[in-house]
Amino acid sequence: MISSALSSSRPRPIYLDCHATTPVDPRVLATMLPYFTEHFGNPASSTHEYGWEAEAAVQQAREAIATSIHATPEEIVFTSGATEANNLAIKGIAEAYASKGRHLITVQTEHRAVLDPCRYLESLGFELTVLPVQGDGLLDLEKLTQALRPDTVLVSVMVANNEIGVLQPIAAIGALCHAHSVLFHTDAAQAIGKVPLNVRAMNIDLMSLTAHKVYGPKGIGALYVRRRNPRVQIASQFHGGGQERGRRAGTLYSPQIVGFAAAVKLALAEREIETERVKGLRDRLWQGFQTLSGVHLNGHESQRLPGNLNLSIAGVDGQALAIGLQPLVAVSSGSACASAKREPSPVLLSLGQSPELAFASIRFGVGRFTTAEEIDRVLEGAIGVIESLRKQQFSISLPPRLS
């Protein structure tokens, strides 16, 4: 049933949900394929050439990913994705530094992969401060300064928000943390390959990464863990093999790791040109929506990811709009991890949006394979659907006629 549905001859929707995931670039796939068949060895097998080949490929990938963020290969821990990397960073630091302090700081607009581990630690007796953001989605550094305490062991603030694309002042946050001898973790899942990342210059101690947001495979990510000034300790959350210098057990998935590195290298090589192209398409989409009344941009106007456009459209339910657009375009009304829940986005509420406008939000993620012609088709179709939904809403809202 599923395979027959997928093989339907109907045209596929235009894909504008690149914050949820991205397709694997064919160039990345071509790099990965030999490691499923010919070079299939276990990187930990040290007595024969199959293992040596796999281990060499993993080491080259580790070096490429480290170079992309100005780290060293020894500071890269491979994980199953950014969610595991976030859990390893937050829980690993809390456990390793519990004798120093039991206070954590994060932000309301963080992904649940950060908020949920923090809440879990809170249930174990740690103290948690969740800071608000300003109306544009940016963290107020003065509020962060006031929240820091002698027993604060970790601050976690993401580079780029997965819903509204806002870019936080990471270097300033990192400098503030280091001035107070507090470790700084950032979730860079949405940022890798799209904005410059330098763990040294930005005073970052731990950074979570993933491949599938940057045209690499799903199921592979990494955690950067600083080795010098300061040397960061983390308590392993996976046990049973001693891989990754004892920080994360489990057989390394060499095809995925090779694909991750290939995706990152491609993104860096093409970032300057691609940033301008994607931003131009995003702005084209935004200009088209501004022909409608009651359209609100969510998040900072310029300090955001080049491909992100998050709008609230008054009088239109965002999920209804996303469903209404489905034959033409695949988009999301919020975070992919929470899209099945019918509740206003906590990220948009944290910006001061009313529940009505938060429900009226829709997120467009423009990507590498998006074309100008597709943007124009989406605009034409979306404006028609919005006008139709508004008419329906208006007719439902009319009071019954008196006889």
Q: Does residue 338 carry a pLDDT above 60? A: no
Q: What value, to the nearest 5°, has the Cα angle with vertex 168 and ends 286 and 313? A: 30
**Residue among 200, 205, 169, 159 nearest 305 (CA):** 159
pLDDT per residue over 290-335, tens digit each?
Answer: 999 999 999 999 999 999 999 999 989 888 898 999 899 999 886 4
Helix locations, 112-223, DSSP H: 112-123, 141-147, 170-179
Residues labelled as active-site residues: 337
Q: How confident is the model at residue 341 (pLDDT cuts 50, 70, 90)?
A: low
Q: What is the pTM of this model?
A: 0.93
Residue 242: the pLDDT is 83
Per the document, the length of the chain is 403
Q: Does residue 388 carry a pLDDT above 70? A: yes
Residue 340: the pLDDT is 52
Q: Do domains 9-22+271-394 and 26-265 have the same CATH topology?
A: no
Gap between the Cα atoms of 377 and 307, Å rounded: 17
In the CATH scheme, what is the code of domain 9-22+271-394?
Answer: 3.90.1150.10
Q: Does residue 140 carry a pLDDT above 60? A: yes
Residue 373: Cβ-neighbour burial (10 angstroms; 0-12, 13-18, 19+): exposed
Q: How confident is the model at residue 8 (pLDDT cuts 50, 70, 90)?
A: low
pLDDT per residue over 57-96, tens digit each?
Answer: 999 999 999 999 999 999 999 999 999 999 999 999 999 9
| 338 close to 109: Cβ distance less than 8 angstroms | no
Q: How confident is the model at residue 386 (pLDDT cuts 50, 70, 90)?
A: very high
Q: Which CATH class is domain 26-265?
A: alpha beta
Phi, psi for 190 (deg, rounded to 5): -85, -15
User: DSSP letters of 126-144?
Assistant: -EEEEE---TTS---HHHH
Which residues have CB under 8 Å from 287's CB, separation 6+? Answer: none
Would you list the domain boundaries of the chain? 9-22+271-394, 26-265
| 95 close to 120: Cβ distance less than 8 angstroms | no
Gap between the Cα atoms of 118 and 127, Å rounded: 9
Question: What rounded mean pLDDT belongs to the chain?
Answer: 93
Residue 241: the pLDDT is 82
* 146-163: average pLDDT: 98
Name the β-bridge partners of 154. Answer: 104, 183
